[in-house]
Each structure stands twice: as C-alpha cells, then as structure tokens.
Amino acid sequence: MNINTIKTEIDFISKNIEAELVVINSAQGLEELRIKYLGRQGAFAQLTGMIPCLSLPERSRIGQEINTLKKRLLSIIEEKQKTIIIKPAVSDKFICDIGLPAIVQEIGRLHPITKVIDEICAVFNRIGFSVVEGPEIETEYNNFTGLNISLEHPSREAFDTFYLKPQGLKVSRCQEEKLLLRSHTSPVQIRMMSSHKPPLAVIVPGRVYRPDAVDASHSFMFHQIEGFMVDENIRFSDLKGILEVFAKDVFGEDIKMRFRPHFFPFTEPSAEVDISCIICRRKQRTENREQRKHCSVCGGKGWLEILGSGMIHPNVFKNVGYDPKKYTGFAFGMGVERIAMLKYGIDDIRLFFENDLRFLKQF
C-alpha cells in the first residue's frame, strides 16, 4: 500500500459521493449513504485503516485530507437532509396511519328528566292538552295570591320561597309586585286563564325552586308538571279518567289508583293521588304479605303518592275573571323527579343534577 493508492481512493470517494447524492431523494437513501461512507465498516473507516502503512509525514497529510473530505461529506449530508425534510418524496401521497386510535364522536342523548317530561306531555297532548310554559321568575300575585294562597300560608314566608332583590316590579303607578323564583308551576294557571277564555286544556312542564337543604329526596330546584282543564260541566270524574290514562300509560296497564282527600288552597275539593307500588306490585303475585312489609319504596303500604289534584277553587276563577257559576275545572300538579325515580327505581334525586355520565348513559 502506498500513498498514491490512498490518494486515488480519496479522489474516487470524493467524486462518487457527489454523483450518489444527486439521485438521493429520501431520508432512508441518505441514511444508507451515511452508513456506506461513515459507518463502522464504511469507506472512511477503510481509508483510516490504511494510514499506519504510510511514513510519518505522509500520515499527517493524508489524515488531514481524509478529515477534510469527511467534514465535507457530513455537511453535504446535513444540507441534503434539510431539503428532504422540507420536501419529502411522499408529500403528494396520502399518509394514513391505520394504527392511530379512532376519533370517536360521542352521540348525545336526552337527560332522563327531559325524557320523562316529554313522555308525560306526549300522553296529555294525545288527549287534547296544549303544552305551555311560564317564566321561572314570577310575581308574588301569580305564585300565591291569585291562587287563593292566603298571606298567612307558610309557603309565603321568606325562608320557604326565594324572593328576588330588588324586590319590586312596578305594575302601576302606586302598586309594586314582589318577584320570586316560582315555587310551583301552578301560577301558569293564572297567566293562561287571565289571557284566554275557556275551554282550556293545558299542561305546563318547568323548573321550580324552594330553599330546601339538598339530600337524597330534596333539591332546591326540581321540575313539575301542572295540568288543568276548564269548561262548562267539567267534573271530578273527568279528572279521574284523565289521570288514569296518564298513570296507565306511564307506569303500566295494571297500575291501580286511589284518591285521598287532601287540602290545597287553589282546589276544592282536593285530593292526593296514589298509585299501587310499582316495586311490590310485581312481588304481590309471588310473595306473601309479610315479605311485602319490607318493600323499600312503599314501606309495605302498597301505595305511592304521585301528585296533588282537585277542582279549581271558585276564588281562583274570580281572580282571573271567570264566572265560577258558569265554569268548572280541574287541576293537578306532579313532581317530575319523583315520577322518574319511581319509574326507573332511582333512590337519590342528586343523581339527576350531578352530570355523572355513568348514571346518565343508562337512559
């Protein structure tokens, strides 16, 4: 091995590199070129391996030449790399990594309370009721006075109702109305009857508010559905018949109902309505009475209260300008959360409002 052989080799590599680089257009090709020349067994390693055969002064000269060539090669590889990254050979092709996780579009669904409201409204809609909504901020008159709820009634106390500040709404020059978050959906009776003549058959879903401490069966906000019908000759039996259609539709054909006398200021006579317990109704067929005593839903009574109802009080008719001698009507009001809890066997009202998807996904 002499110096000329090594010089020829250096020249050859130098020319070859240029020629090879021109045709490389991928990162992979560039890497192969790097390994071919700069790898552990590459051309440069072989050149360096020849150095010991040379005389001492030749060694440093050839060593320098090899290093210069090596530096040049490294810098042109670096330059080439930039152009490859900016303009990849596959840029005009569609790149699809089928190993990437899919983007799943979650499909939303209705909240269970919305579902129950829709279901109940649909039942009444089918038998001729119109669905009407009222405001959640109500006047004290519509919420209480117009509904024959006296000044002494405990629900009018500040701690039983959310009164709003500033407290007044000017209804005329000398009269100011207190405003509150409605405590029931019954005030829509006053709104509808004051602005419409009978016959009326209306169903009113909506949110109501009471300053109750939150626990498994209470919430400061919940939903109610109010219903009422007014015309000449509307009787208590109409109320019974219509509520039976509703109960059978929502809870099943074999449900039984009972009306218990009760008191509401806006109806006379008034009744609370119970349905046969939907939990031990099923057990009644197979288990004895002793076992039924332990039903966690009705406590063994066999009945569940679902709503309040009655014949609209003559004073309410007077307050809206209807002649109580000419018109009669019935009204009823139910808590939607209670109906939903009974229907789906839910034992804690808070579940409806916590937005826990594990709960909501079940509906």
Determine how β-strand 176-181 pairs with β-strand 163-170: antiparallel
Of 280 and 310, CB closest to ligand DAH: 310
Of 205 and 308, CB closest to ligand DAH: 308
Residue 260 bridge partners (DSSP): 272
Binding region for ligand DAH (CB under 6 A): 184, 186, 226, 264, 267, 308-310, 331-333
Residue in this structure with the two tokens 């057990």, named with its chain if needed: 283
Respond yes or no on whether the N-terminal peptide bond of residue 166 is cis (omega within 30° of 0). Answer: yes
As measured in angstroms, the least distance from the Cβ of 269 to ligand DAH is 10
The one-letter amino acid code at 70 reads K
Cα 128 to Cα 48, 114, 227: the distances in Å are 100, 21, 12
As measured in angstroms, the least distance from the Cβ of 193 to ligand DAH is 12
Of 73 and 120, CB closest to ligand DAH: 120
As measured in angstroms, the least distance from the Cβ of 316 to ligand DAH is 10
How many CA atoms lie within 13 Å of 252's alpha carbon, on the beta-carbon side?
13
Of 189 and 292, CB closest to ligand DAH: 189
What's the first-to-final CA gap in the chain, in angstroms? 87
CA gap 336, 119 in Å, rounded: 11
Other Cβ atoms closer than 10 A to 158: 9
As measured in angstroms, the least distance from the Cβ of 260 to ligand DAH is 12
Other Cβ atoms closer than 10 A to 280: 23
As measured in angstroms, the least distance from the Cβ of 242 to ligand DAH is 13
Of 54 and 221, CB closest to ligand DAH: 221
Query: Which residue has the closest beta carbon to ligand DAH?
Result: 333
Of 186 and 276, CB closest to ligand DAH: 186
As measured in angstroms, the least distance from the Cβ of 310 to ligand DAH is 4
As measured in angstroms, the least distance from the Cβ of 159 to ligand DAH is 17
Of 33 and 242, CB closest to ligand DAH: 242
Q: Give φ, ψ of 269 to 5 degrees.
A: -70, 165
Of 209 and 264, CB closest to ligand DAH: 264
Of 210 and 283, CB closest to ligand DAH: 210
As measured in angstroms, the least distance from the Cβ of 253 to ligand DAH is 25
As measured in angstroms, the least distance from the Cβ of 162 to ligand DAH is 14
Cα 18 to Cα 37, 73, 106, 297: the distances in Å are 12, 9, 56, 88
Nearest to 278 by CA among 304, 258, 248: 304
How many CA atoms lie within 13 Å of 223's alpha carbon, on the beta-carbon side?
23
